[in-house]
């Protein structure tokens, strides 16, 4: 146990951070950028904080999947290849986290976020240039290798994996943003689940913290998913792009200016 004292303010901070991280993950992705720094602030070592955050965000995807259950009906079996790729990527990423330093990969995070946000924002134009069309709701075959790399990223760090996944779905021609959010939740679930197993075996999870954060993340993810289903798709796309731009700007500042 890394938090030597549990105060009421600590408990409230974990609940608030978990709830809003779940909300953000449900809508676009990037909730870990709220939860992970909170855990560092509370005194957890970086790798323990990362593994604990991964655990909470994995449990949080249960709320997202439940909230988008109508959009996901009939998609589980066709998504099996992508899910297997996600498991492989998640295991590889978790292994990398446990055996390598974070410095180089951390410096790539702003570029990954910015690239994914731009791909998502201009996905319709990119599809037209490539001659592809709207797809009923799956990853295109040409995105499977990048999908594995997103899985590695998810297992290694995980923050904003949703933005990266939505970008690949947009390139695949999944034009229904609500369906894309549901599929994103499934992929995040298998990636984070694979990493979660690795972290359990390695004993890197602060369980009392993870339990509180997980319950709050589940509640936030479910609430955001149910509410966002009532939002017009174009408005939701703009919100996702705004979140991606803000996260990119923050991490460029943190990594290359303030850091």
CA distances to 16, 60, 156, 161, 176 from 223, rounded to whole Å, are: 14, 11, 27, 20, 20
In this prediction the pTM is: 0.75
- Enter the DSSP assignment of 255: I
Q: What is the pLDDT of residue 234?
A: 76
Give the pair of three-digit tokens for residue 159. Answer: 């923050």
Question: Reduced to 3 states, what is the DSSP secondary structure of residue 201?
Answer: helix
Rounded to whole angstroms, the Cα distance separating 218 from 64 reads 8
The percent of residues above 70 in pLDDT, for the chain, comes to 89
Continuous H helices in the chain: 8-27, 32-41, 46-67, 69-72, 80-99, 103-121, 123-130, 144-156, 161-172, 177-202, 207-228, 233-252
Asked if 172 and 143 touch (Cβ cutoff 8 Å), the reply is yes
Asked if 2 and 43 touch (Cβ cutoff 8 Å), the reply is yes
Q: What is the pLDDT of residues 131-140, one digit of tens each?
A: 555 555 567 7
Q: What is the pLDDT of residues 216-228, one digit of tens each?
A: 999 999 998 888 7
Rounded to whole angstroms, the Cα distance separating 152 from 258 reads 27
Give the pair of three-digit tokens for residue 87. Answer: 């498991």
* Axis-axis angle for helices 46-67, 8-27 (nearest 10): 50
Residue 242 has pLDDT above 90, yes or no: no
Question: Reduced to 3 states, what is the DSSP secondary structure of residue 15?
Answer: helix
Q: What is the pLDDT of residues 5-17, one digit of tens each?
A: 678 889 999 999 9
Asked if 210 and 57 touch (Cβ cutoff 8 Å), the reply is no
DSSP assignment string, 18-30: HHHHHHHHHHTS-
Q: What is the pLDDT of residues 29-51, one digit of tens each?
A: 778 878 888 888 888 888 888 88
Segment 152-172 shows an average pLDDT of 82
pLDDT band at 161 (very low <50, low <70, confident <90, very high): confident
Rounded to whole angstroms, the Cα distance separating 64 from 7 reads 30
Q: What is the pLDDT of residues 100-110, one digit of tens each?
A: 776 776 787 78
Rounded to whole angstroms, the Cα distance separating 96 from 152 reads 8
pLDDT band at 1 (very low <50, low <70, confident <90, very high): very low
CA neighbor of 84 nearest in space, from 92, 73, 72: 92
Asked if 165 and 29 touch (Cβ cutoff 8 Å), the reply is yes
Q: Mean pLDDT over all residues of the chain? A: 83
User: What are the structural domain ranges in the chain?
Assistant: 8-258
């Amino acid at each position: 146990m890394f938090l030597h004292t549990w105060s009421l303010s600590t408990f409230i901070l974990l609940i608030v951070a978990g709830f809003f991280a779940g909300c953000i993950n449900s809508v676009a992705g990037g909730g870990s950028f709220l939860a992970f720094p909170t855990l560092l602030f509370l005194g957890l070592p970086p790798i323990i904080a990362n593994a604990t955050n991964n655990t909470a965000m994995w449990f949080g995807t249960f709320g997202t999947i439940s909230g988008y259950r109508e959009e996901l009906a009939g998609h589980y079996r066709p998504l099996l290849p992508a899910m297997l790729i996600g498991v492989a990527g998640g295991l590889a990423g978790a292994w990398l986290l446990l055996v390598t330093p974070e410095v180089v990969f951390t410096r790539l995070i702003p570029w990954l976020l910015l690239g994914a946000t731009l791909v998502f924002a201009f996905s319709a134009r990119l599809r037209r240039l490539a001659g592809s069309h709207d797809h009923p709701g799956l990853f295109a075959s040409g995105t499977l290798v990048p999908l594995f790399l997103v899985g590695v990223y998810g297992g290694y760090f995980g923050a904003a994996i949703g933005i990266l996944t939505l970008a690949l779905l947009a390139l695949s021609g999944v034009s229904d943003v609500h369906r894309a959010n549901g599929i994103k939740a499934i992929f995040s679930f298998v990636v984070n689940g694979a990493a979660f197993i690795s972290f359990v075996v390695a004993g890197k999870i602060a369980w009392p913290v993870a339990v509180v954060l997980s319950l709050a993340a589940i509640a936030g993810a479910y609430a955001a998913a149910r509410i966002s289903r009532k939002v017009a798709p174009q408005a939701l796309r703009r919100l996702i792009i705004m979140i991606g731009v803000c996260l990119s700007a923050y991490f460029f500042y943190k990594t290359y200016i303030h850091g």
